[in-house]
Structure 1
Amino acid sequence: MKIIVNAEPLEVSAQTLSEAIDELGFDSPAIATAINGVFVPRSVRDTKRLTEGDRLEILAPMQGG
């Protein structure tokens, strides 16, 4: 299905948010996620289904300073 990930259109086979995170290679345990501008807590990522055209934001903390 076609979704937008961090403002980039992508094609994924994932059906859930958790599957999309794995498929896209985000392996850090410390990420924040949102679908269509709505925060999605880690506890529901396995059951949060994606639909065609969803806007997914995946944010990882940055180190430095």
Structure 2
Amino acid sequence: MNITINQQPVQLPANASVAAAIEHWQAKPPFAVAVNTNFVPKSRYAIHLLAEGDRMEVIAPVTGG
């Protein structure tokens, strides 16, 4: 299936979870995840399944002042 992660096209197996997408993306903690602009809690990464055309954002915190 085709999704986008941080506006980049990505191909994943059908019914891939957010956890699988994070592993594919090789995201380094800390980060937060949103799918189609909806926050996904870390406790749901393994059970939140992605669908064709989903837009996922992996967002790293920004520090400074």
Shorter-chain TM range is 0.7 to 0.9
Tell me the TM-score normalized by structure 1. 0.84
Of all paired residues, the percent bearing the same amino acid is 36
Tell me the TM-score normalized by structure 2. 0.84
Q: CA RMSD in A?
A: 1.8
Q: State whether structure 2 residue 16 is matched by structure 1 residue 22.
A: no
Size of the aligned set, in residue pairs, is: 64
Structure 1: tracts of 5 or more residues without a match: none
Structure 2: tracts of 5 or more residues without a match: none
Name the aligned partner's letter for residue 43 of structure 1: S
Aligned residue in 1 for 2:9: 9
